[in-house]
Amino acid sequence: MASSSWPEQAPGESLRRQAGFLREIDRLKGVFRQTYLLDGSRKENDAEHSWHLAMYAMVLAEHANEPVDLERVLKMVAIHDLVEIDAGDTFAYDQAAHADKADRERAAADRVFGLLGEQGRELRALWDEFEQRRTPEARFAAAVDRLQPLLHNYWTEGKAWREHGVRAQQVLSYNARVGEGSETLGRLVETIVAASVEAGYLLP
Amino acid sequence: MASSSWPEQAPGESLRRQAGFLREIDRLKGVFRQTYLLDGSRKENDAEHSWHLAMYAMVLAEHANEPVDLERVLKMVAIHDLVEIDAGDTFAYDQAAHADKADRERAAADRVFGLLGEQGRELRALWDEFEQRRTPEARFAAAVDRLQPLLHNYWTEGKAWREHGVRAQQVLSYNARVGEGSETLGRLVETIVAASVEAGYLLP
């Protein structure tokens, strides 16, 4: 499967490289997260998650702490998980896997963005910016990246939290970052965590 | 599943409406298309497809016939299939289903974008613009929306084409729209179709 070579007659060398990259990143659809779809039927994959974050960013931009350039936010959320094609998804509350996460992801970024040659540098710089949360766009993108799985847990009655025995304090400290991008969304996190403990979705 | 009500203490009425919309559109992850993933393991869903189009738009923007505002293109591809939550995916070469497609999709747009109240008007206007292909952004978004499944068919050795007995002329006329957004990508379509016929992926 997926063995067809690129036709020699196809226009342009840049298009050949771009198509190679667009073909390779299809693998993001096979990287599964711990978060469930809202109907509880299966776990969500990284490509679906990235699309959902684009919708979160578009709809919630008014709540960002500082004005954001939405084009840059949308690009950032589209590419933020591409490294997981090589490095896999690391569950938020898996401390052992977090030890070498940064190294695994940097190597993956070198390879995946490298497929685009010179054009990949802009995307790699955006990914570095996202990881380092140095700009309003990166902080807002990171906020929605944390908020979305939190709401999925709440709306599925804590399905993934209960499977992993997660506690309220873990969720609060992991999601403290939401407030750095949006104080309003940060307050929402606290409300959702309190409601989840009360409903028994999350351990106190 | 997904029965948790919105906490009364959560900040703001607009946030309640926005969360309701972001929750509802999770259903896009369950709308399946005829296109296969490149590993051939299963069909692609609309959420994954929408994410992939965002990547296509970012990477291929230099090939647009006219300069495009990428933020508007990225928004358009993120929302372009939301109507299929209600209206379902209509296979490109199913003429019967195309007869009432426009009516079904307009009703869906009323409901889905309506969930966002006043804020939904901007997204609805973007969806109308995409459908009507009146602007460079809409024409370029429509071009990548057709190119992506074509390349998936080519890279999976015509898997969906062969299942439906599709002919080269059908593919060429359906994808004529690609050239309206990008002449370069339009030439690519012709090359891919010719190579697909030669390889036996597509009926002559």
Give tens-digit pLDDT for A55-108.
999 999 999 999 999 999 999 999 999 999 999 888 777 777 777 888 999 999
CA distance B56 to B61: 8
The label of the residue with tokens 């009323």 reads: B110
Helix ranges (DSSP H) in A4-69: 13-24, 46-60
Q: What is the mean pLDDT of residues B17-44?
A: 97
DSSP category for residue A66: S
pLDDT computed for residue B3 by the predictor: 58
Out of A25, A30, A39, closest to residue B2 by CB: A39
Task: Mark yes or no for CB contact A27/B39 under 8 Å.
Answer: yes
pLDDT computed for residue A1 by the predictor: 46
Instruction: Please report, rounded to a whole number, the percentage of residues in chain B having pLDDT higher than 90.
Output: 86
pLDDT computed for residue A185 by the predictor: 97
Q: What is the mean pLDDT of residues B13-40?
A: 96
Mean pLDDT of each 10-residue bin along chain A, 204 residues long: 73 92 98 96 98 98 98 98 92 78 93 96 97 97 98 97 95 95 97 96 94
Task: Mark yes or no for CB contact A41/B30 under 8 Å.
Answer: yes
The label of the residue with tokens 């998650």 reads: A49
Mean of the per-residue pLDDT values for chain B? 94
Mean of the per-residue pLDDT values for chain A? 94
Out of B58, B79, B156, closest to residue A75 by CB: B58
CA distance A116 to B59: 9
Q: What is the mean pLDDT of residues B101-127?
A: 95
Q: How far is CA A11 from CA A120, B14, B49, B63, in A?
A: 20, 48, 24, 11
Encode pLDDT of B148-178 as tens digits: 999 999 999 999 999 999 999 999 999 999 9
Residue A158 contacts residue A202 (beta carbons within 8 Å)? yes
pLDDT computed for residue A4 by the predictor: 74
Please tell me the distance in Å from B99's CA to the nearest CA on chain A: 29
Token pair, residue A194, equals 């309190």
**Which candidate in A15, A49, A55 is best for mutational testing of the B interface (most B CBs within 10 A)?**
A55
CA distance B156 to B135: 32
pLDDT computed for residue B49 by the predictor: 98
Out of B7, B41, B156, closest to residue A191 by CB: B7
Burial B79-117 (b: 16+ CB within 10 A, else e): bbbbbbbbbbbbebbeeeeeeeeeebbeebbeebbebbe
Q: Which residues of B touch A30 (CB under 8 A)?
A: 37, 39, 41
**B18, containing H or E segment:** helix B13-24
Asked if residue B68 has pLDDT above 50, the reply is: yes
Residue of chain A whose Cα is closest to the Cα of B75: A58
Asked if residue B83 has pLDDT above 60, the reply is: yes
